[in-house]
Amino acid sequence: MLRRCFTISTKEKELEINEEIRDKEIRLIGADGAQIGIVSAKEALKLAEESDLDLVKISPNAVPPVCRIMDYGKYLFEQSKREKEARKNQKVVEVKEIRMFSSIDTHDFETKVSQAIKFLQGGDKIKVSVRFKKRAIAHPHLGEELLERFKEACTEFGVVDKPIKPEGRALVMFITPKSSK
């Protein structure tokens, strides 16, 4: 008879299998999900062997600990399948940066706005920064006006997440896409 005895470490806990369970008494759940009751660990292991399945401690902190009779290999496979499905459905939100200078031309500004709208429609956040060259730092109101124009141009597609704030020789603003319902 082939015996399986191994420990798999997951992110949140370590599961004990078969002979690794050292408790005297455990609360046992059968393979069909029905509660069998409180039995000794040896008796539970014997029941698991008879049905050719594994005894897995699923709740070690309970008094007495809860163990279940299950096919552990199948359980691991289904769990990895669920994790893979969750990763597939996950959307990674990127932060795209759009840099402008305080003395930007109108056509360049319109190009930056259209690029920002494309990013927002793709579901990405935007970091809009206005950099100041040389002595232009003495006139921060020009950068604020530019960012206000930018915000007005993007109101249909995004919402200001973090308002305008100075960051070194630049003014920065974050825009998040509007949720599509």
How many Å apart are CA 158 and CA 179, to the nearest integer? 9
The residue assigned the tokens 């609360």 is 27
- What are the pLDDT digits (tens) for 52-101? 888 888 888 888 888 888 888 888 888 889 888 888 877 777 888 999 98
17 near 4, Cβ under 8 Å?
Answer: yes
> Which pLDDT band, with edges at 50, 70 and 90, does 50 fall under?
confident
Query: Which token pair is 74?
Result: 């199948």
Q: With 60 as the cut, is the pLDDT of residue 2 above it?
A: no
| Residue ranges covered by each domain of the chain | 8-86, 95-177
CATH class of this structure's domain 8-86: alpha beta
CATH architecture label of 95-177 = 2-Layer Sandwich (3.30)
